[in-house]
Chain A
Amino acid sequence: MNKNIIRPYGDTLNDGKMQLSFSLPVSADAFGKEAARMLLLQMGFEDAEITGMRDLREGFTHFIAYAVTSTGIDTDKIKVKVVETPVMDMEATDEYISEHLSRQITVVGACIESDAHTVGIDAIMNMKGFNHRYGLERYHGFNAINMGAQVPCEELLARARAEQADVILVSQVVTQKNIHIKNLTKLIELAEAEGLRDKMLFICGGPRISHELAIELGYDAGFGTGTYSTDVASFIAITLAKN
């Protein structure tokens, strides 16, 4: 076997053991259990064992299962897109900006369209920041404008144009029915139509956003869960300096 092929690990190398959990619209009995097992077999698992079965009522049942997959991944073929700029703290970023750009960077941020949850954009932009990392407002090197929640794409772009922004920062927390994809696509399409796309950096963030998804949607970068203001600030400073 190719030594670059990896498989799930239970307690023995390459045993292929996986833990699964899902619900089905079936009764919690032998019939339901068999339905769950068959589903796993059809998915290509071997040795599917239903180890837990919980009646969710109203005709639904929750299953916990262990199963073996024979699938493996060739690590040579893995390609990921990640933000590769180094992360600096606030003081270092401010110093970097004054050294390389010798002016303030204007960032206009918002939760766009239907999204009313400002927790993400606030954590990155507001003075107080999050978990001992101050937000962009606190940086000397940034002119940070947080437009808050439910900002229509048109308004965000208009403000960015008026402020001659260097960066647009968008947060999308609500992701039900992939609403975040629709909103983010709308913004980038409008920006292109208005000729703003190449005039500034477009960055998005949120719990279900990855750098890869962001690139795919036409953004310059995407930041997911666990991102701090320092990550975003460093990326912006270094990318703008390079440009």
Chain B
Amino acid sequence: MLKLELNQELVSRSRIAAQQITGAFSWLFDGYSSVSIERTVLRLMGIDGAIKGGEPLPNVVVDHLKAKSALNKGAAVWVANAMLAKGLSAQEVAEQVAGHSLCLTDLPLASAEQLLSILNPLTKTMLSHIRKQKQKREAMFAKYGERRKPAIYVIVATGNIHEDVTQARAAAREGADIIAVIRSTAQSLLDYVPYGATTVGFGGTYATQENFRIMRAALDEVSAEEKRYISLTNYASGLCMPEIAVMGAIERLDLMLNDAMYGILFRDINPKRTLLDQYFARMINAYAGIEIQTGEDNYLTTSDAIDKAFTVTASQLINESFALISGIKPDKMGLGHAYEIDPELENSFVYELAHALLTKELFPNAPIKYMPPTKFASGNIFKTHLMDAMFNFMGQLTGQGVQLLGMMTEAIHTPHLADRSLAIENAQYLFKAVKDLNQSLCLAPDSFVNQRANEVLKQAVDFLERVAEDGLFSAMAKGEFAEIKRPENGGKGLDGVFLCDKDYYNPFMQQMKQELGL
């Protein structure tokens, strides 16, 4: 079997440094909330829909409370108070706020005990729905069998949810295990989640709860016909990270792209907002049994895959550590890695073997999300198809969890139907051809692969220890990550972060923490 001889002292130092970095944020997680977290709470209370003009009701209510400087107690408190006083449902309260016939802060605040008599049953109802969705997923896997490894992951991205359904069904029938609906390119920076089924998007389809429902229903149908549970994934990222996580939990998405630092580095979202939102988003994912996937591939699309290989390892360790804080177990951590080494480099495959094995062995229980060549994909679709084959070879050889299939037309357009089909054929051929090869191979102890893996690990440890000493925010402000400077008080969405009152209350977070043992 291919097995690295990793320096175990470095392995334990890497984890200690990562814990030191992520452990320094309890002041933020315990003391602050954000507009997106409050909107998530309202969605969990059953508030949905949008007013004329498209503004979602959760935004209307949160903005109303913010304008009254009352958000610091938590949105749940005010809505429950109005429900109690007026005998309304949460949805009716939101509608009356939107219609300007109700001002939440005009009502005298009931006692904590009275508010709990409203909030406790609501919390119980929604969390029980989410648990049922989790059980349903588990029952489907038990009935049809576990996901293959590496799982075949393909994207659909037409912009039109109904067209996406056609393409997703076709891909599932050809062998795809996971369907990702790529979001419209502008969505990560929207501070609201669009409402309803959508048919126009650019570079992807808007993530909306209705679109989630439509796609999940279509895939459930194909799952039953193909006798294979087809998983669905989307993006709990950007300014609405926890809201999208909760929509996914409600509609039974199975995976979520959910990186702790991606928004900060690559979308210029405020660091505090991002870390705070990911804390709650990941807790929801953990509670719903949703597998998260992280975005380490982004470090390599902008920097050299060999010089900066250690940044992937470092980010994986930080993502792992933040995920543990939110209650996610290793078997639901799809940490990211990418096949992005320059194909012109001699022994590019050997370098990549070292990097891929390092990822696999540092996180033996994590279903690693392995990303395909993109940087060196070109209009030469034949060459790109060949690089994708090498990537598929590597994925099977090193036992990664999820193979995000490369498309021969990667550099040209969002995949056409036939592109996706050829990608699946490519992966199935390679997976079958080298299925058990790993078991017949072993690495020479002093081989380049062993040396290289330890070298990358050493660089990652040095880097993490430096960041741990400096503090994550300070390191980001200096441009230590991805060579981009992100100051603590810069970026988008900072005005949506607020300090909680002593009597702030988020019933869902409280209950989830308790059940997750946090």
Binding site for B on A (CB under 8 A): 21-23, 54, 56-58, 60, 62, 114-119, 122, 126-128, 131, 148-150, 174-177, 179, 207, 225-226
Contact = CB atoms under 8 A, between A and B. Distances in A.
A62 B421 contact: yes
Contacts of A177: 159, 202
Contacts of B362: none
Contact of B170 (A58, A207, A225): A58
Given A114-B185, A116-B188, A60 B413 contact: no
Interface in B155-192: 157, 159, 166, 169-170, 173-174, 184-186, 188-189
Given A58-B173, A225-B379, A150 B413 contact: no
A164 to B, nearest CB: 25
Contacts, number: 75
Contacts of B416: 23
Nearest to B173: A57
A128 B484 CA distance: 10
A21 B342 CA distance: 28
B186 A119 contact: no
A138 to B, nearest CB: 12
A207 B379 CA distance: 9
B411 A207 contact: yes
B202 A58 contact: no
Given A60-B417, A119-B301, A225-B411, A176 B173 contact: no
A118 B378 CA distance: 18
A225 B184 CA distance: 23
Given A58-B169, A62-B421, A115 B185 contact: yes
Most buried by A among B189, B203, B302, B414: B203
Given A58-B173, A60-B170, A148-B268, A176 B202 contact: yes
A121 B185 CA distance: 16
B202 A174 contact: yes
Contact of B189 (A150, A179, A226): A150
Given A114-B186, A117-B185, A150-B186, 19 more contacts: A22-B418, A54-B421, A56-B174, A56-B418, A58-B173, A62-B418, A117-B203, A119-B302, A126-B483, A127-B483, A128-B302, A128-B303, A128-B483, A149-B267, A174-B185, A175-B413, A176-B413, A177-B159, A225-B379
Interface residues of B, number: 34
A219 B342 CA distance: 33
Most buried by A among B159, B169, B185: B185
28 contacts: A21-B418, A22-B418, A56-B170, A56-B174, A56-B418, A57-B170, A58-B166, A58-B170, A58-B173, A62-B417, A62-B418, A114-B184, A115-B185, A116-B267, A117-B185, A117-B203, A119-B302, A128-B303, A131-B342, A148-B268, A149-B189, A150-B186, A150-B189, A174-B203, A175-B413, A176-B159, A176-B413, A225-B379
B51 interface: no
B88 interface: no
A127 B479 CA distance: 12
A106 B166 CA distance: 48
A62 B159 CA distance: 22
B215 to A, nearest CB: 15
Contact of B417 (A56, A126, A150): A56
Interface in B246-285: 266-268
Contacts of B268: 148-149
A155 B303 CA distance: 28
B11 interface: no
Most buried by B among A117, A174, A176: A176
B437 interface: no
